[in-house]
Structure 1
Amino acid sequence: MTSNYVEHDALVALLNSVGDDDRRGRFVHDFISLWETRSQRLMKALGNRDFEDADVVLLSIRSSSTMLGAWSLEAIAGMVHSAVKGFDLQGSLRHLPRLQAVGGATCQELLGVLESMRRPDAPAGGARSAKSA
């Protein structure tokens, strides 16, 4: 699988450290299922000029993105976060469309990785190696 949004080696390392197959899948599924909630909470916080809540949401996005090897998402969230910490509403809003697009694409790629882990014919050395560790 070609990666555009997730560094698979970082993801595999994380999944190997999480534990059994159920926990591995649950961690990734939790990130995916929380993406829309986090995105909406961020938009609401910025709409209300609640920079404190926006900060909390962005810290969550950034830390989980880092753990998953989702470097593009982390970088864009970092740009929004820098603007939020500077109370720059326009700067924050400028990056939101890209954050949402990359977040959605990252979630799709993560779903693909989970699917490849479940397939017995997944390529060796890819995400499936987390299952065999």
Structure 2
Amino acid sequence: MTRYRYVDPDALVSLLNAVGDDDRRGRFVHDFISLWETRSQRLMKAMGQHDYEDADVVLLSIRSSSTMLGAWPLEAIGGMMHTQIKNFDIPGAMVHLARLHEVGSATCRELTGVLESMRAEAPR
């Protein structure tokens, strides 16, 4: 049995089952993975420009999609950053930025493994 560090497998399976047919299964996961770098860069840009509104939007996106995927560590870090952004505290949010990137990348790697397992287990 695979040990997950970054994604709750029960939450992920629940999401995948809710999605429905095989054509759409995994698309949300794939989209999360493919958008991670864009979201990450957009967040850095927003914070660098002290654009609290855009940073808020990006962090809401990261947090909501992480919650849907069961990516609790990523959601928790995003939550800490989001609190700082809501308090107009860029330096406080920056404290967590490197960890957000690290955990986000690790989450994407773990999710990639899940997608590969799904493809391997799919009936042919």
**Corresponding residue for 1:124?**
none
- Between the aligned partners of 1:24 and 1:85, the Cα distance in structure 2 is 34
Matches within 5 A, 1:81-92: 81-92=82-93
**Corresponding residue for 1:118?**
119
Q: Taking structure 1 as the reference length, what is the TM-score of the superposition?
A: 0.89
5+ long unaligned stretches in structure 2: none
**Corresponding residue for 1:97?**
98
**Corresponding residue for 2:22?**
21
**Corresponding residue for 1:48?**
49
Shift of 1:59: 0.3
Q: Secondary structure of 2:26's partner?
A: helix
**Corresponding residue for 1:9?**
10
**Corresponding residue for 1:123?**
none
Over aligned residue pairs, what C-alpha RMSD do you find? Answer: 1.2
What percentage of residue pairs aligned between the two structures are identical? 72
Count of matched residue positions in the alignment of Structure 1 and Structure 2: 122
**Corresponding residue for 1:127?**
none
The residue type paired with residue 34 of structure 2 is S
Q: Taking structure 2 as the reference length, what is the TM-score of the superposition?
A: 0.95
Following superposition, which runs of at least 4 residues in structure 1 exceed 2 angstroms of deviation? none
CA offsets, 1:83-131, max 9 Å, x none? 00000011111100000000000000001011111113xxxxxxxxxx7
Shift of 1:22: 2.2
**Corresponding residue for 2:75?**
74
Shift of 1:4: 0.3
